[in-house]
Copies of this chain bind each other. A is one copy, B any other.
């Protein structure tokens, strides 16, 4: 379990790769090719693979603190006296981070690259948001019938506008967020409320298959 430190030059390269990859992923999303990262960093592709054999390794290394920051936002928001204010504040701050970093948006909103990082992050955020929603409903700030899953839908909705508008109008999402939040307060919601089970699926997490044996990827050298 104990890892010996990298050789000094290797560590330097690692940092360089991380910086480069973060910049690229922030601008172009999580999908940037290893080739482009390597080229941009001035290393060979092999170096990227040696350091980050799976894309998840790279994404985890890059985004752990970002995800933690979002968790922090949720925690802080959940301590707000006014639940509705906390909720809108949290969403706004979260979207601001996503607006500044396309990769982070992809990470938070889609199941691709879903590593333990995001799964655990969401596992911490979801109940906090749920708490705020419940409090807001109790306080009459949201109509009864609004459930936490509705906020996940809002996440996706606003995210879609953000992604589409990134290049034309990087702040258009604020308009859509306003729309969505006002809608939650004023709409009479039809249909079945999306339950917790639905939340993961909305985020693109594949359905659990309890029957199927889990295949463990062999990590040992």
Distance to closest chain B CB from A147 (angstroms): 10
Q: From B150, B179, B203, B204, give the contact of A154 (CB < 8 A).
A: B179
What residue in chain B is nearest A179 (Cβ atoms)? B183
Docked Cα-Cα span, A160 to B183, in Å, equals 16
A211 within 8 A of B: no
Distance to closest chain B CB from A126 (angstroms): 16
Docked Cα-Cα span, A185 to B180, in Å, equals 11
Q: Are A189 and B183 in contact (CB under 8 A)?
A: no
Interface flags for A169-200 (1: CB within 8 Å of B; 0: not) read 10110111011111111111111111001100
Q: Are A187 and B198 in contact (CB under 8 A)?
A: no
Question: CB-CB < 8 A to A161: which residues of B?
Answer: 153, 156-157, 202
Q: Are B179 and A180 in contact (CB under 8 A)?
A: yes
How many residues does chain A have at the interface if contact means C-beta atoms less than 8 Å apart?
42
Docked Cα-Cα span, A190 to B181, in Å, equals 13
A158 within 8 A of B: yes
Copies of this protein, total: 2
A168 within 8 A of B: yes
Q: Are A178 and B187 in contact (CB under 8 A)?
A: yes
Which residues between 125 and 172 of chain A lie within 8 Å of chain B, taking CB atoms?
150, 153-154, 156-161, 164-165, 167-169, 171-172
Q: Are A202 and B153 in contact (CB under 8 A)?
A: no
A79 within 8 A of B: no
Q: Are A179 and B198 in contact (CB under 8 A)?
A: no
Question: CB-CB < 8 A to A150: which residues of B?
Answer: 175, 179
Q: Are B172 and A191 in contact (CB under 8 A)?
A: yes
Given A156-B164, A157-B160, A158-B157: A182 touches B187 (CB 8 Å cut-off): yes
Docked Cα-Cα span, A168 to B187, in Å, equals 22
